[in-house]
Structure 1
Amino acid sequence: MTLTPSHIIEYLYCPRFTYFEYVLTIPQYEERNYKVMRGREIHDRKLEENKSYLRQKIGVIKRYNDQYLTNELLRGKIDEVLMLKDGTMAPLDYKFAIFEERIYDTYKTQIFCYAWLIEQNFDTIVKKGFLVYTRSKNKLIEIEVTKADKQSVEICAQEINKIISTNFFPKATKYKQRCVSCTYRNICIK
């Protein structure tokens, strides 16, 4: 089974997400969430609007839109894969969000996943990625990507596959505040 960046993000939030959703096959029903649906709609529109725009100021020499990439553990659709002047490549992802002077870990994790996929599929190096905050006048933010960031994503993917393939019931998150809004809180052993 290949995973998505969402699997990695859920695992990092709480490893039991993986168990409930993919071992016990109890769905989360994220489609009911307005912000998720609205974000997908805006995301699709922004992709269409930006197809002809090349980001000269960040050194883009070529761009690949809507790239669906896979490797042995992960799969994902990247909004834009950018080839940069220095010979490296970078993922760019649109967010239906307002930039509030901090970058959420979930956004970083997604960029790290995409960086790993790009390196494996394009046989290149990824040192950074970019986010575009559509609700902040398309503010462009650069995120550094290290070798350790990409390795941590790979380790998470291996751990998730272990949970699924062996029906392993992992420890819950150590951040108990997360349990308050969890969709599995009523069935999870505290």
Structure 2
Amino acid sequence: MILISHIRQFIFCPRILYFYTFCDIKPLYPEYVSLGTQYHNRQNELFKSRKFLKFKLPIIRVYNNLYLQDLSMSGIADLVIECEDEIIVAEYKNQNKPILSTGAKMQLIAYSILASKYLNKPFSKIMLICSNNLKFKIFDITNDDLIKFDKVINSIKKMIDQEIFPHSNASIAACIQCEFKNYCDDRE
């Protein structure tokens, strides 16, 4: 089963998922991981008093930290917004502007697929939420995004099924912040 959080990591560098899956390594996480955890904890506290009126959506219910699973994927979505005719999955990001990376987009699509099944409603959008005052941006999901998602999932399955040590497409800047940089042996 693929952990949805690993999809983003696979896109950042496929070797991260390899190390998590096949190696018994306890990585030392950079400080930004701790800061991100603190940010998410704060958002969970704030969730209790929020009405989400700022989103201007026909909201029926908002689910916080919703566990989702099917036969191939599982994970915990930060927020699932159930509207009258659709669902929108939202992710909290500890950043100043709602900038969506490819990895975050693929991760949100995975949550959206599972949330869509769980709530029996379609999805066509995802959302990033930044800062404590709910800066947000809604992004449309295109058919090309779904095709790319399928390719990523198939690549992950192939790597896991065949236990392939993947090529690293990460930049040196990405490698510097990686928790597995001491094990990869590709960078100085």
> What interval of TM-score do these two structures reach, taking the shorter chain for normalisation?
0.7 to 0.9
State the 1:31 CA deviation: 8.1
Q: Could you say what secondary structure the match of 1:72 adopts?
A: coil
| Structure 2 CA distance for partners of 1:62 and 1:169, relative to 1, 3 Å | same
- 1:97 equivalent in structure 2: 95
In the comparison of the two structures, how many residue pairs are matched? 185
Q: Could you say what secondary structure the match of 2:2 adopts?
A: coil
Equivalent position amino acid for 2:43 in 1: H
Instruction: Identify unmatched segments of 5+ residues in structure 1.
Output: none
Equivalent position amino acid for 1:47 in 2: F
Equivalent position amino acid for 2:80 in 1: V
Task: Tell me, in whole angstroms, the C-alpha distance in 2 between the residues paired with 1:9 and 1:138.
Answer: 22
Aligned-pair Cα RMSD in Å: 2.6
Equivalent position amino acid for 2:6 in 1: H
**TM norm structure 2:** 0.81
- 1:63 equivalent in structure 2: 62
Task: Tell me, in whole angstroms, the C-alpha distance in 2 between the residues paired with 1:29 and 1:185.
Answer: 10
- 2:43 equivalent in structure 1: 43
Identity %: 21
Tell me if the contact between 1:61 and 1:83 (Cα under 8 Å) persists in the aligned partners: yes
Task: Tell me, in whole angstroms, the C-alpha distance in 2 between the residues paired with 1:21 and 1:147.
Answer: 30
- 1:134 equivalent in structure 2: 131
- 2:142 equivalent in structure 1: 146
2:143 is the counterpart of 1:119:
no
Q: Which range moves more in the overlay, 15-24 or 151-160?
A: 151-160
Task: Tell me, in whole angstroms, the C-alpha distance in 2 between the residues paired with 1:158 and 1:3.
Answer: 11
Tell me if the contact between 1:71 and 1:121 (Cα under 8 Å) persists in the aligned partners: no
